[in-house]
Structures are given as C-alpha cells and as structure tokens.
Chain A
Amino acid sequence: MLLFTLQKAGSPEDAIAAAQAGARYIAGGTTLIDLMREEVERPERLVDINALPLKDIRVEGEDLVFGALARMSEIAAHPDVLRLQPLVAESLIEGASPQLRNMASIGGNLLQRVRCPYFRMHDAACNKRQPGSGCTALDGLNGGHAILGTSEQCVATHPSDVAVAFVALDATMRVRGPDGERSFPVEELFRLPGDTPHLEHTLLPGELILEVRVPGGAHARQARYLKVRDRASYEFALVSAAAALEIEDGVIRTVRIACGGVGTKPWRMRACEQALIGRPPDRANLEAAAKLALEGTRPLAHNHYKIELLPRTIARALEMAGELA
C-alpha cells in the first residue's frame, strides 16, 4: 500500500474543500481500502466523511430519502424501507456479506469499482486501470462480463445491486460541489465505457453525494429483486432483475424493470416495460416482454449463457413482483 494522509471532515464544506485540493472521499472504505491495498487505487490524500450529517433515512410524502452515509444494513432493515420500498431492501440484502453491509455506505456503493479480475492485476493490460493499455478480458475469461453497453475498450459489468433498484425506481440523487448543489437521476450517474473506460461516473471534481431520493408509489410497494448466482450469498450477480408493478383491473398500469450483471452500467429495460403496459401480467406476456431485453446484446466468448438467463430472470422477477399483490 502506498502512503497516504487521512483527514477528517467536520462539514460538507470541509470535505469538498479537501476534495478540491486532491483528496478522495472515504466512507466505509470497503472498496477503496481494498483497492488501495492492491495499489489499484493510489490516492495520496483521503478525507473521511463519516462524521458528516448524511446518515438519515426519512420519509417525505411518498418518497424515501437516504443520506449518502446510511449503511446498507441500516437501510435494508429499516421498517419504512421494508414497507414502502421492499425492492431497495431486497437488493441490499442480496449484496455483499453482513460484515460488508455494516460498513458500506450507499454513496460508496454507487461508486464501487468493477469486479473484473484483470482490473486488479497490475501485470494485465486494463484500459480502466491504465488508459490505453488494452483490455485483457476482451479475449480472456469473460464469463462474468457484460453483454450490453460494452466497447472494444472495456466489457466489465457495473457490480452494484442497489443501483439496479435505484435505476428501476427512477431514483434521483443530490450532490454538492464547489459550485453548489444539483440533482439528477441516478441513472445519469453512470457512463458507458466507450473510449474512456477509466471515467465511470458523471460527478464533477470535488462533488460529494449528499442523498438519494426514491419516489414511492403503488408500483414501488409491489417490487422485487431477483439476483441469480451460483452461490446463495456473497457473490455478484450473474444476472439480476429489479421489477416493480402496479396492476389495476387485471392489467399492468405501471411497470419498471432494470437489470444487473449484464450491462456496463445498471440497465433499464424500457422496451420490456412498454410492451407490458396495459396487458395482463400473465406468464406469456411476461416472457414475451422479457425477450425484448435481448435487443442490442453482444455476448463475448464465455458469457453466452447470459443471453439465455437474462429474459428468464426478468420474467421471473416480474412474476415474483406480481405475487406480492
């Protein structure tokens, strides 16, 4: 590990000033320290933001608001979250391990780095770690990699589970930077790799995530997260689907679908959604709509199975959501 300095921020202003001077924010540290130990992340300065008043979980009207420092485990167990946003709770519980969830913050979760194994290997070319060096995964062992949103430069999936739920539910986030605050959809936080896979998000230099707001509604209360993987816990998704449904008079009125494990960012499945509006949520309709998720997919040598798995996961997640009624 490289030497670094650590300072504690007493206020958001402090933190942002430190970040402007080159410091990286550290919350739970579960991703950042891990990667620093492997010298994949090499910050010289860290600013600890854990003392900032960004921990609350509150209800505002139909919406739920999470401070950026709320822990995954706290949100997942919160009664209001379970009542109003079961999908968010489920996506958190399905992520990482209890130890990690106790430390990991929601802000840090959204900014976690990819799990592509080559990303961590200094002796392997990786455009994300070292721009221009190449992508070892492209012709390597890429069974866990993406089938949507890839480029010749990078094919790594975005690993977060809760981000998939947020994208499905049209969550927004509020950030503050040197020039003030702004809000935007969580979906717009993520960038496609394109020719610049080392740039993963759209935060401006020094911007601090303050909170995430998840709009409520009938569909949000009837929503499930299905994470498919080879072991029951402590594994990233092969494919996952967040599905939210509002059914009225036997037909689907509102539907939201997003998937993880398949895209270079959490992938909203709008074509599937459109195909379902106004239709009864029967199995045939769900399956037919789920197939539309395959549009534009580009499998690699070892991840063809995701083509098979993706629509199945979506159909099943929708069915599970439908059963909550």
Chain B
Amino acid sequence: MTDLSKIRNFSIVAHIDHGKSTLADRLIQETGTVKERDMQAQLLDTMDIERERGITIKANTVRIDYKADDGETYILNLIDTPGHVDFAYEVSRSMRAVEGSLLVVDSSQGVEAQTLANVYHAIEADHEIVPVLNKIDLPASEPDRVAEQIEDVIGIDATGAILVSAKTGEGIHETLEAIVNELPAPKGDRDAPLKAMLVDSWYDAYLGVIVLVRIIDGVLKKGDRIRMMHTNATYPVDRIGVFRPQMEQIDELGPGEIGFLTASIKQVRDTRVGDTITHEKKGCAEALPGFKPAQPVVFCGLFPVDNAEFEDLREAISKLSLNDASFSSEMETSAALGFGFRCGFLGLLHLEVIRDRLEREYDIDLITTAPSVIYHVYLRDGSMMELHNPADMPDMSLVDHLEEPRIKATILVPDEYLGDVLKLCQDRRGIQIDLTYAGSRAMVVYDLPLNEVVFDFYDRLKSVTKGYASFDYTIEDYREDRLVKMSILVNEEPVDALSTMVHQDRAEARGRAMVEKLKDLIPRHMFKIPIQAAIGGRVIARETLSAMRKDVTAKCYGGDATRKKKLLEKQKKGKKKMRQFGRVEIPQSAFISALKMDD
C-alpha cells in the first residue's frame, strides 16, 4: 500500500511539438524506469503513425518511482498527452485523472494556441500548473521573454518556471523535484467503498479490453467483482497492474493510484470512458460526474477504389471503431462511387489517421470524398433532419431554413502576418470577436462556420503565415445561414460525391474555383468534356476540358515492341484506379483536391 502523500499524478500538456513526449522520455530515463538499452526517442509514441509523423495521438500513462532529495521515494504517474487540436478530448479527460499539469512551452516559440487551450482545461480541472520552458539548448531560445509572455497572455505566475532541455537532459532533476514539491498529493479514503474513474479503454490482441483506471477511494484487488455504474455491467477482475511503460501486474491499486485492469470485457464498446467503477457489493453511493463523450464533427465518405473490396472495408472499419469510440460510421451508397461508408471524425488529422490505417493496415485503396459537417435542415413540415452528407440534401422546396455549426477559433500569430490572417478569416465568413496583443504576437478570436474550417483552413493558415500561426477551436452553436447545395456535373452527369454545401454569396466563386480545379485534375479524354457547377437546375460555372491532342509513342520498331506493349497495358490497368462516370474517368485524388482553394 502506498501512502497518499508519496504519490504525485500529473499530465504533460503543451502545444503540438513543444516536446511533451521527449520530456516524458527524460523523466522515464532519469528515474531508471526503463533500461538504458531499451530507451528510444518518444518511447511512448508506439503506434506506427505516431512514429512516422512524430506526433502523439493517444495519451499514455507511465508509473515511475523517484527517490527525491528529501530522501523519500515517490510514485509518479505521468500522462503524456497529444498536442493536436483534434485530440483535445484525450487531454481533457486525462486531466480529470490527475491533480496537476506540467505546462511545457517551447522557449524558442512561445505561447501558442494549444498552450492556451490546455491551460484552460487545466484550470477547469482545478490543476496545480508547473510551467516548463523547454528546448533551452536551442540558439533561438528566449526563456525570459517566454516567461513574461506566459504571465501576460495566460495570467499564471511563471517565476517558478523550470528551464529544461528535454534533449540534453538539463533541468530534468529540477523538474522531478518540482513535481514532488509543487504538485499536490492526491486525496482519498482507503476505507471508503471503491470509487474509480474509467479513464480510457482499448483493445489488446492478447488480453482483450484493457481499462485504465484512477482509484479515488477504496481498494481494487485482483479477483474482485466490479460494477460499472453507468452501464450496470458486472465483471470479475482478472488482472491488475501498472504501466512502466510496459504492463506490470500487481495485486492491488489503492486511492490516488493509476493503473489498469482486465476483466474479460469483450468489446471496447462495453465500457464507457468517464464511468465510475465500484464493487458489485457494497458499492459507492454516488457516481463521478462522468465525461462528455467526444462527438465526431467532420464527416466524409470512404469508398473502396475497387468495389470488390467493400466487404474488406466493412470489416476493417468495424475493427478500427472497436478501439476508437470517437470515430463513427454508417453505410452509404453513392451513384458515382458505389458502396462505402459515411464516417465521422474529430477533425481532419483524425480523418487522415484513420484513412491511413485503413489503407495500410488493411491494404484497401480508398476514395475519400470532401469533408463536410452536420447541418440542421429545418423542413417546412416543422421537422428537423441532421444532414451528414450533401448528397442527401432534400429538395429546396421542402426546406424552410438551414443551420450550420459555428466555432470559436483562437489564432496566435506574429504581427506581420496579422493582415493575412484577418483576410483569411473574413473570406471564410468569420466574425471577429477579439483582437489583443502580447508583445509582437497578436491573438485573434473569430467566430467562424465550421464548414469553412474543416477542409483546408489550417493549410491555408500555415501557408499565409509561413507556419508561424497556431490555431485552436471549440464548437459553439448552430446558426441559420443562407446555405445551398452545389452540384457538379461532368460531361452532363451529376457526380454526387462532388456535391458540397456552400453559402449563397460564395457559391459562384466556389463553383468557378471548383470547375477550374477539376479541369486540371481530370486527364484529357478522347473527346471534350463540359464540367459544370449548378445550384438546383441553374448552372453557375462552366469549363470545358478539351479533347486529348497528343498521346503517341514516337519511336516504335521491332526491338522494343514487347516493352512498348507492356507499357500500354500497364497504363490501361492504371486507368482502373480511376472512377468511371459515364465515359469519363476521374482520378480518385480529384474528390479531395477539387475543393482545395488557393485564395
């Protein structure tokens, strides 16, 4: 049993890439939790996609033992969190399981949008916050300026900020001491009925569903029968353990401790994050408040390039969604693309991650259609339908009005790019809410329609600010606007997968941009192809793709006949990677690229 005063639980939070996972590496290393030879950079980022992209997607918990300068040994439970806005939900729920946060700020960059967002989450969770100024080894590091910025922009005391280089290990000892001395010990009553928070759960091929728990009161032992208070399901506990970071079994978890249990739970769906776990008999009276579930906000169609792979796709999607409750899917049929799934995601990065995994782990070539948001369509008969897919838009004569989701976006940007950022937000139908300065950086807050943001807003923001802006958002509410469905016709035939919802005032410009894009994206055919954008029956933009003029092998004699023929055969097979619409073949990439705007 561990004395509560010798436990410290904390999350490591920061803007993307400010060095959370690297800091976690050093804490793990300095305390000797992992043998030197087993160390590798960003040890906790174990998924292929995490390692490839160098980002954290899934929060990770590790228990380390630290012998402090006061001679006592402490148990530290750290949670490394993702920085990207799509996974903000992971951060906020991790914070509910701990008492404090290390707020990591890259001292060569300063406060960014997710730094702010994370601080708000931490304050909401009542955390003690220890600021860590990281990357002080970099020549561009300016810890004093950044400390000042933290005080100005965030309004927390940064005098005690620790100067760290997670790369060289400088300041790691100080960080460990601060964790012990600055962060509060957890509270809890060992003798009270068991009350534990279900922080997360995932599927493991060998052990089945693994549940990450934080014990609030009482003691959880191997063999106990537990009850999930929300679902009311009961299970016998098979295993109990902690992450170091690999799983290590122990006999019990007491108040203030974080660890895992397995209990022959079949599906991740049978567990509900935020649920309260207690004993089947003599359970606790009151459940914890629970978490708001993560809701998908961005939707798109995923179709197999090869229709024959539909069943494979179905299976792959159901496997992936077993482990990811924030990813939703339902079957969809498209006249253009055949059978597929309409899937919901937390954001574009989440979408990309899932699509990548489907393509790689399950080896399925996919066509991804344009991302869209959920519209509320109010019909004349007084009912409301949620529109996940523009192709399902009812006839306008039946529609009274539409509402769309709006967000509150916070953007931090160096002064010199402010003009471009304001223009971008204005172009995307934004309404400015706030504009303040912190030194040479501006912080702008905009009210924006989510549909103008889900697609290429972040790319555009990066490009107009040369990567110096950061961006975070929260969903606000639904609001009415003049929205219409724009269809695209290729060679006189509507291509449903290219339909989009647009604002009336911007429809023409959008339509024009899209048909011009498509003209470049669709290869020339043996005949000319009209490409049109239309609202209802009215064509608002038109381009004509001219017929192919040149495609012939200049030299073809006896010597190379075989090779030349193989080349043609290969090209012919390559065409099968395109989608056939009447006589026209559209490359799969067109479905996404057509919407990108170069404004």
B is bound to A: no
Which B residues lie at the A interface, using CB under 8 A? none
